[in-house]
Structure 1
């Protein structure tokens, strides 16, 4: 299971917006520059995130975008769903979808809603505010050394015109 690039970039962009909250007027170009996300992609994400009510856009001189609510009140599930739509691990958890070849005979299908809810719930527990805090030096959420995340062996986000995680 992997997030789309747009969902990944949306989380990165929202994290950058949360870090800058209130210090300077933000616009898609500045967020693109700060994150390495291509300008047109950043503009598309800003529009999607504003439509979803996660960013508020103000036109005119001194305008730009800002978080629609405090970073602690925005979670990773909100951001992903703003770009991807509802989180659905399989097509059978989506209302009205009947395109599975196993439909009618699948004994697991009734349980996918529980699995899907658990994944969405886990993502909803991670606030945008927690993503902008520095991790402790002794270890991260997963118990591994944080220093590894800052290693030069990790590919940069910008390489060959693409953004990588």
Structure 2
């Protein structure tokens, strides 16, 4: 399993936003500059993350982006799902058809696997990602 580039970039952008925002605001341009992501990609991410309720966008002279919730209340799972949709390792779990559908003996087990992966991602918050200490 591998995250899409967009999901990876969303985690990077949200981590930068958490580091920069605190109680203040940051612009999409500042996020692009800090992360090295292209401005159009950041704009696309901001749109998705705002729609998911993870970022709040304010217009005007004192506008900008702000975390919609405290960093401790936003997880990697929240961010990935905002960009990719529900976490599912196989298409059959999402209701898509499969050539093995009629004889599949493992389909019933995939939701358990998916929930374990989602649980692992849900266990890591932006606060942890912003932490400067090295992970062993």
- TM-score of the two chains, using structure 1 as the length reference: 0.79
Cα RMSD between the aligned structures? 1.2
Deviation at 1:27, TM superposition (A): 1.2
Q: Could you say which structure has the higher helix fraction?
A: 2
Instruction: Report what 1:67 is aligned to.
Output: 67
2:37 is aligned with 1:37: yes
Whole-angstrom CA distance in 2 between matches of 1:72 and 1:22: 12
Map residues 46-61 of structure 1 onto 2, 5 A cutoff. 46-61=46-61
Residues 76, 126 of structure 2: 8 Å contact kept: yes
Instruction: Report what 1:161 is aligned to.
Output: none
Residue-pair matches, total:
136
Instruction: Report what 1:108 is aligned to.
Output: 106
Deviation at 1:134, TM superposition (A): 1.4
Where structure 1 has 5 or more consecutive residues not aligned to the other structure, the ranges are 144-165
- The Cα offsets for residues 81-120 of structure 1, whole Å up to 9 and x where unpaired, read as 00001111001111x32x2100020111110010011000
Deviation at 1:135, TM superposition (A): 2.3
Structure number with the bigger relative contact order (C-alpha 8 A, sep ≥ 6) is 2
